[in-house]
Amino acid sequence: MEVTTNNMGKSYTRYNFGVEYLTHKGKTTTTSVGSDYDNMVMTLNSVPSRSGRIPAMFKERPDLISDTFYDSPGYWWYPMQFNSYFDPFEDLQAGAAISIPNLV
């Protein structure tokens, strides 16, 4: 299996790979790495935010944080992604610092 990379102006993705051409058994497949979602997530660090500490009642509850700041529990992933948190049970502890992006 042979993989070659052609950057064709796609360096704006977080992957920095652009277009991939995969050749296997004489067949070539073209894939594009990245998406509009990836590009939106990349811009999170430039979004205005407010900072604070996680109260005890919000421990391990990104849904409650989302509901408080965005009036919907469905945006729970905004503060998680913004703070590079991956596990709410490990990262969202009472007293831990958190930044809330102003996205909604």
**Is the pLDDT assigned to residue 81 strictly greater than 70?**
yes
Confidence (pTM) = 0.60
Domain residue extents for the chain: 2-38, 47-101
For residue range 54-73, list pLDDT tens digits in order: 999 999 999 999 999 999 99
Query: Quick count: other Cβ atoms within 10 Å of Cβ 83?
Result: 20
Q: How far apart are CA 4 and CA 28, in angstroms?
A: 11
pLDDT for position 50 = 92
